[in-house]
Amino acid sequence: MKQTESENSRSLIERARDAERRGDTARAFGLYDDGIEVLEREHDVRALADALRWKGTLHREQGETEAAYRCYAESLQQAEECGSVDCKAQAFNCLAIIAQRRGNLVECERLYQQAAEFAARAGDVRLLGMIEQNRGVLLNMRGRLVAAEARYYNSLGAFEQTNDSEAMSWVLNNLGMLYTKLGHYQRAIETFDRGLRIARNRGDSLVESVVVLNLAWVWVAVGKLEEAERACAEAYGSAHMRGDHLTMAESLKCRARIERDRGAFTASLATLRIGIFEAEGLEDRLLQAEMLRELGQTSQALGNAADAELAWREAVESFEHLGARSDVAETKALLASLIGTAVPIEKTTRLRPKYIRPISDNPEPPSAEL
């Protein structure tokens, strides 16, 4: 391999990651493509496995799930060709995240287990911390909040031990979300603020916008709707500049909730419809279910009981598929309040096509549920 070619490929990939961190998504994709082309010509298989994985995570954070999957699968092939245990571990972790987003939880758990085994063999403490956090996200989704908190703190401890501020910001985001769910709002604010300081010091626009959006939900919960609206608008604006459809859809969901809490039900319904359109094709089943639940609540407020029931029944089906027990119970309670009885959940006609983010080794976190 010629030294100048090697330096060129490394420079292209480093510049791609820097552009990604700054939120310049189009430039990042272009630089990744150029770097991957050079690496393929050089047949630098180890570096190619990394570059494909990083490009895949950029696709994933834009909500382009199938494109991310293809990059991750190709990265795994390259890792197997070069025999890198660490690259295999990273690829399995990323593929597990895709399975989690799509709601394939048995496959997700199998892949996380494989990732953890390879990471342990490689002695990769950072990746073990990532996997520990991602498993915490699964536990959080299933309503096992104490177990999730323990996983998050294990992960945070590993990152603090290695002075990894980037990864610490990911875990702090997820801890803040957990405290919000538990109703520990002051603790959530303090945790989000700490993560936000890290993201801003690093110039990490994606992590910053995700944390700001999750902070907006705290303001919603405590009734500070003006603060919530400002935070939501900031997150949406940043996501729009990056072309990040996932965070845009999450922001629209939050905006719709703010509008509903203000009694602007028609505006809330319109915002939800835009959000649902924005989210189509993302293959994020949890986001889909959450939007359906919001749609049901706004429809009920407008007096559209039939639309509310249909939305909630479909939301329950998705939450049950994901094993999100607390969400199932909450949505069933909404249904029961609507019809005044215990509700048997049956298969329903889908309202629309299907559409928390965990973490890999890119400079991004996992999503609004990082």
Quickly state the pLDDT bin for 352 (edges 50, 70, 90): very low
Residues in the chain: 370
- Which residues, other chains included, contact 198 with Cβ-Cβ below 8 Å and sequence gap of 6+? 165, 166, 168, 169, 172, 204, 207
How far apart CA 139 and CA 105 sit, in angstroms, is 11
Has this prediction a pTM greater than 0.85?
no
Tokens at 88, concatenated: 């295999």
- Which residues, other chains included, contact 152 with Cβ-Cβ below 8 Å and sequence gap of 6+? 133, 136, 171, 174, 175, 178
Residue 365 has pLDDT above 50, yes or no: no
Q: Does 244-359 carry CATH code 1.25.40.10?
A: yes
Quickly state the pLDDT bin for 195 (edges 50, 70, 90): very high
Cβ atoms within 10 Å, residue 183 = 10
Question: What is the residue-averaged pLDDT of the chain?
Answer: 88
pLDDT value, residue 68: 96
Contact 204, 165 (CB under 8 A): no
Give me the mean pLDDT over the 260-276 stretch. Answer: 95
Give me the mean pLDDT over the 41-51 stretch. Answer: 94
The ranges assigned to domains in the chain are 244-359
> In the chain, pLDDT over 70 holds for what percent of residues?
89
Which region among 216-220, 282-286, 306-310 has the lowest average model confidence (pLDDT)? 282-286
> In the chain, pLDDT over 90 holds for what percent of residues?
73
Pick 130 or 2 by higher pLDDT: 130
Burial 35-53 (b: 16+ CB within 10 A, else e): bbebbeebebbbbbbbbbb
Expressed in percent and rounded to 5, the helix, strand and coil fractions of the chain are 80, 0, 20
Residue that the structure tokens 């602007």 belong to: 264
Burial-class residue 117 by CB neighbours within 10 Å (0-12, 13-18, 19+).
Answer: middle
DSSP letters spanning 272-336:
HHHHHHHHTTS--HHHHHHHHHHHHHHHHHTT-HHHHHHHHHHHHHHHHHHT-HHHHHHHHHHHH
How far apart CA 322 and CA 329 sit, in angstroms, is 13
For 70, 102, 185, 275, the CA distances from 243, given in Å and listed in that order, are 20, 21, 31, 14
Tokens at 63, concatenated: 């909500």
Tokens at 105, concatenated: 């939880």
pLDDT value, residue 360: 58
DSSP state of 352: S
Which region among 69-78, 99-108, 252-261 has the lowest average model confidence (pLDDT)? 99-108
pLDDT value, residue 358: 52
pLDDT value, residue 7: 52
pLDDT value, residue 242: 86
pLDDT value, residue 340: 56
Contact 32, 51 (CB under 8 A): yes
Give me the mean pLDDT over the 48-70 stretch. Answer: 94
The sign one gets for the Cα dihedral 167, 173, 175, 178 is negative
Give me the mean pLDDT over the 82-105 stretch. Answer: 94
How far apart CA 208 and CA 197 sit, in angstroms, is 9
pLDDT value, residue 354: 29
Give me the mean pLDDT over the 67-86 stretch. Answer: 96
pLDDT value, residue 1: 41
Cα end-to-end span (Å), the chain: 39
Q: Which helix (H) or strand (E) holds 180?
A: helix 165-182
pLDDT value, residue 206: 87
Cβ atoms within 10 Å, residue 93 = 27
pLDDT value, residue 61: 87
Residue 346 has pLDDT above 80, yes or no: no
pLDDT (tens digit per residue) in 289-320: 999 999 999 999 999 999 999 999 999 999 99
Quickly state the pLDDT bin for 179 (edges 50, 70, 90): very high
pLDDT value, residue 361: 57
Q: What are phi and psi of 162, to 5 degrees?
A: -95, 5
